[in-house]
């Protein structure tokens, strides 16, 4: 809704899709947002995401490296959602049982009643963990390509599932039960997972500059898009906003060259048109408030 122009009541955007053919419409007013897919109203974000897979590289992408595990779980789960068909329903079962367990831990009944949700939580949690791990194994060779293209060094993600390696999730639930009850929170499970990003066999987070963080995070996203195209036999959409921010000329050149090699439909926004290399499949537009004009 923040995109509605001042003085206007709404906006409408329509996208024509291929692979498969179809249309998506998004209408936003000051009070509501309506999404339709092929004329039928979509009630969940997941249905829109499944039909139009989009990844974004923008100036804040360095947070994927710099900030906490939640950023990296979102990155990971974007890929698992689009490659593992059962992931979304499994993740929803896990979240429901986790929320119920946490709510019960806050009651007088405490852990005794909360344990009634553990069977579902453990089964769904183990499935989420396996699907995430399987996805990262598929992603590994594309990460290597990204590391070589952008840094000339190997890039890898090591998975930390969210509970100790020497315990099952069921064993961890039992071991943590008293602590969980005291703090009314489930301390272990897939919702605590993380990926440790390593560049040239060293932990990247503490060893790279802000510009290198952006380049590294961009490589992670581009690797995902390559895997997506291979698995789904169609390209996703890449939104690349202000690619020159935080990058020196050499790093920017490597990023743009690698991005052009990735099978995706690319939308690049930049203040300097020199960042966009003309080509047979390139269209360039000049954007002003309320006006979009094709220039190439």
Judge whether 156 lies within some domain.
Answer: yes
Beta strands in 94-216 (DSSP E): 155-160, 194-199, 202-203
Judge whether 116 lies within some domain.
Answer: yes
pLDDT range class, residue 277, cuts 50, 70, 90: low
Domain boundary among 183, 208, 232: 232
First to last CA, the chain: 30
163 and 70 in a common domain: yes
- Give the model's pLDDT for residue 291: 78
- Asked if residue 88 has pLDDT above 60, the reply is yes
- Asked if residue 8 has pLDDT above 70, the reply is yes
Judge whether 187 lies within some domain.
Answer: yes
- Asked if residue 275 has pLDDT above 80, the reply is no
222 and 88 in a common domain: yes
- Asked if residue 123 has pLDDT above 90, the reply is yes
103 and 28 in a common domain: no
pLDDT range class, residue 110, cuts 50, 70, 90: low
- Asked if residue 79 has pLDDT above 80, the reply is yes
Judge whether 49 lies within some domain.
Answer: no
pLDDT tens track for 211-232: 999 999 999 999 999 999 999 9
Find the range with the poorest average confidence among 133-137, 173-177, 266-270, 287-291.
287-291
pLDDT tens track for 141-178: 999 999 999 999 999 999 999 999 999 999 999 999 88
pLDDT range class, residue 115, cuts 50, 70, 90: confident
DSSP letter (8 states) at residue 116: G
- Asked if residue 61 has pLDDT above 70, the reply is yes
95 and 193 in a common domain: yes
Residues of the chain above pLDDT 70, percent: 95
Judge whether 157 lies within some domain.
Answer: yes
Judge whether 273 lies within some domain.
Answer: no
- Within 8 A by CB and 6+ apart from 47, the residues are 37
Q: What is the average per-residue pLDDT within 226-245?
A: 95
216 and 182 in a common domain: yes
Number of structural domains (the chain) is: 2
Distance separating alpha carbons of residues 115 and 109, to the nearest angstrom: 10
Q: What is the average per-residue pLDDT within 190-207?
A: 93
Beta strands in 22-148 (DSSP E): 22-29, 33-37, 40-41, 54-57
In this structure, how many other beta carbons lie within 10 angstroms of the beta carbon of residue 204? 20
- Asked if residue 1 has pLDDT above 70, the reply is no
133 and 77 in a common domain: yes
Structure tokens at 66: 């710099």
- Give the model's pLDDT for residue 93: 97
170 and 94 in a common domain: yes
- Give the model's pLDDT for residue 4: 82
204 and 70 in a common domain: yes
Average per-residue pLDDT for the chain: 91
Strands 40-41 and 54-57: unpaired
* CATH code of residue 226: 1.20.1050.90
18 and 108 in a common domain: no
84 and 9 in a common domain: no
- Asked if residue 112 has pLDDT above 70, the reply is no
Judge whether 202 lies within some domain.
Answer: yes
Q: What is the average per-residue pLDDT within 261-283?
A: 80
Distance separating alpha carbons of residues 51 and 26, to the nearest angstrom: 13
- Asked if residue 109 has pLDDT above 90, the reply is no
74 and 27 in a common domain: no
Question: What range does the domain containing 30 cover?
Answer: 1-44
- Asked if residue 6 has pLDDT above 90, the reply is no
pLDDT range class, residue 7, cuts 50, 70, 90: confident
- Tell me if 24 sits within 8 A of 35, measured CB to CB: yes
Domain boundary among 232, 258, 287: 232
Domain boundary among 232, 250, 283: 232
Judge whether 240 lies within some domain.
Answer: no
158 and 81 in a common domain: yes
């Amino acid at each position: 809704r923040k995109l509605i122009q001042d003085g206007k009541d709404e906006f409408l955007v329509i996208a024509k899709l291929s692979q498969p053919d179809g249309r998506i419409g998004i209408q936003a007013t000051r009070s509501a947002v309506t999404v339709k897919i092929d004329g039928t109203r979509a009630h969940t974000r997941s249905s829109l995401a499944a039909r139009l897979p989009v990844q974004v590289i923008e100036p804040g992408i360095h947070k994927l490296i710099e900030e906490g595990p939640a950023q990296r779980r979102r990155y990971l789960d974007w890929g698992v959602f689009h490659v593992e068909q059962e992931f979304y329903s499994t993740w929803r079962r896990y979240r429901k049982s986790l929320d119920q367990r946490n709510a019960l831990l806050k009651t007088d009944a405490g852990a005794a009643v909360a344990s009634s949700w553990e069977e579902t939580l453990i089964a769904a949690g183990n499935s989420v963990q396996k699907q995430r791990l399987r996805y990262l194994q598929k992603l590994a060779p594309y990460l290597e390509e990204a590391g070589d293209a952008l840094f000339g060094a190997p890039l890898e993600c090591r998975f930390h599932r969210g509970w100790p390696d020497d315990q099952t999730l069921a064993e961890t639930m039992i071991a943590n039960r008293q602590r969980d009850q005291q703090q009314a929170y489930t301390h272990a499970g897939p919702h605590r997972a993380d990926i440790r990003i390593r560049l040239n066999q060293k932990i990247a987070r503490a060893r790279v500059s802000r510009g290198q963080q952006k380049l590294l995070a961009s490589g992670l996203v581009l690797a995902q898009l390559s895997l997506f195209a291979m698995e789904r036999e169609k390209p996703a959409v890449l939104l690349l906003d202000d690619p020159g921010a935080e990058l020196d000329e050499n790093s920017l050149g490597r990023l743009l060259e690698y991005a052009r090699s990735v099978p995706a439909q690319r939308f690049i926004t930049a203040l300097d048109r020199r960042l966009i290399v003309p080509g047979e499949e390139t269209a360039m537009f000049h954007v002003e408030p309320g006006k979009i004009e094709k220039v190439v």
